[in-house]
Amino acid sequence: MTIEQPDELQLFLRFEYATTLPVSNDQDAVQTQEIVKSAYRENDIDTVRLIRQYVQAKQEPGSLH
């Protein structure tokens, strides 16, 4: 994951993926690849959600962070 800041008001998270799964056109392999992609994507969405929660908590009065 890299964080890019094109200006003072924006941050972009760029997620890059690499797996040890072999590239194949076999239907079972394709289905496994799609499951892995989905798992990575869901994890990344959760990461962004946690970052947003952390930032919002820092801005609230009485925050412990």
pLDDT digits (tens, 9 = 90+) for 5-64: 999 988 888 988 888 888 888 999 989 999 999 999 999 999 999 988 988 887 776 655
Task: Please name which of 42, 46, 38, 37 lies closest in space to residue 18, comparing C-alpha atoms.
Answer: 37
Residue 43 sits in which domain range?
Answer: 21-65
Residue 27 confidence (pLDDT): 93
pLDDT at 64: 57
In a domain, 28, yes or no: yes
Q: What is the pTM of this model?
A: 0.67
Q: Tell me whether residue 8 is in a domain.
A: no
**Residue 12 located in a structural domain:** no
Q: Pick the closest to residue 36 from 50, 48, 20, 25 (CA basis).
A: 20
Q: Give domain status of residue 29, yes or no.
A: yes
**How many structural domains compose the chain?**
1
Reading the block at residue 65, the tokens are 């962070």
How far is Cα 30 from Cα 17, in angstroms, rounded to an integer? 16
User: For 5, which DSSP code?
Assistant: E
Closest-CA residue to 1 (of 11, 12, 18, 16): 16
